[in-house]
Amino acid sequence: MTHVVEDWIAIGIQVILVLSVNMVSGYARQLSLGQAAFAGIGAYTSALLVVRWHVSFWLACPLSILLSAAVGAVLGAPVLRAVRYYVPVMTLTLNIFIFQLMRLGRLIGEPVGLGRIPRPQLFDSVLSPHMYLGLVVGAIACCLLVDWAFRRSRLGKRLVEIEEDREDGCLRKRHAAVYVALVISVAMAGLAGSLFAHFAAFISPFDFDVETSLFVLAVATFGGLGCLPGVLISVVGLGLLLEHFRDLTPYRFWFVGVVFLLASLGWPWVHQRRRSQDAGAK
C-alpha cells in the first residue's frame, strides 16, 4: 500500500512541474527548454536549508519558491523588451549552467548529489507517506487555483486577445503578460523541486538535466499545450504507465522525439487544443 502511495506522490510532483511548463509554453506560447533548472534551484535550496542550516521545511519550501521566482524574474526581464526567442534560449542555457554548477559540488560538497534529506515534520512527527501525499495534493490544488486565476485575469486574457494584434502598444501589453506567466511558471517549478527533494531524500544533478526538461515539455505537448484537462490527463496517464512498467523508463526519450516530431509536422491534436482554448477564452 505504501508503494502505491509513493507512486502517486511522484506523479503528483510531476503534475506540478508539467503545470508550470503549461503556464509558460501553453498560455504564453514561449517554449521552456530548461524547466528542470528551476526545479533544481528549488530542490537544492530547500534541501540545503534543511540539511545544512537546520531550517524548518515549512520555511525552506517558501524560500525555495521565492528564490526560483527571483531567478526567473531577473533572467526573464528581457522579455519585456520583446527579445524574440529569448525564453527558449534563456531556459536552455540556464539548465546547462545549473547542471554543471551542481556537478562541481562547490556549494554542496558532493558532486554526485545531496542525501539524507529529511521528510517534513508536523508537531514533532515526521509526515507519513499518506500525509505527504495530502501535502502534494494541496500543492496541486494551489497551483490549479493560481492557473485558474491567471487565465481569468486581465494579463491572462491579453495572451489570447492580443495574439493577432501587432500594434506596438498591444505587443508591449502581451510581453508584460508573458513575463508574469514566466515568473509564475518558475515559482511552480521551484515548488515541485522542493517537494521532490524531501520525498526522494536524495537528489543529484541528473534529476534536473536538460533531458528531464525536454521530457516534461513533451508530456505537456502530448496533452495539448494550453489545454489544462489534456495536460493533466497526459501527465497522470504517462506517470501511471512509467510507474507500473518501469522497464519502459529508459525508452521515455523515444517518446520525446516522437512527440516533438509530430508537433513540428503540425500534429492536429496540438493545434486543435490551442484553437479550442482560444475560442473558450473569447
Q: What is the pLDDT of residues 242-279, one digit of tens each?
A: 877 777 777 778 888 888 888 877 665 554 445 445 44
**Maximum C-alpha span of the chain:** 58
Look up the pTM and report it.
0.90
User: 148 with 20: CB under 8 angstroms?
Assistant: no
User: 132 with 10: CB under 8 angstroms?
Assistant: no
Which residue's entry shows cell 496541486? 140
User: 201 with 115: CB under 8 angstroms?
Assistant: yes
Question: What percent of the chain lies above the pLDDT cut of 70?
Answer: 85
Closest CA to 19 of 177, 99, 136, 133: 136
What residue ranges do the domains of the chain occupy?
Answer: 2-209
Residue 229's alpha-carbon distances to 122, 158, 277, in angstroms, are: 33, 21, 11
Round to whole Å and give the CA distance between 240 and 159. Answer: 33
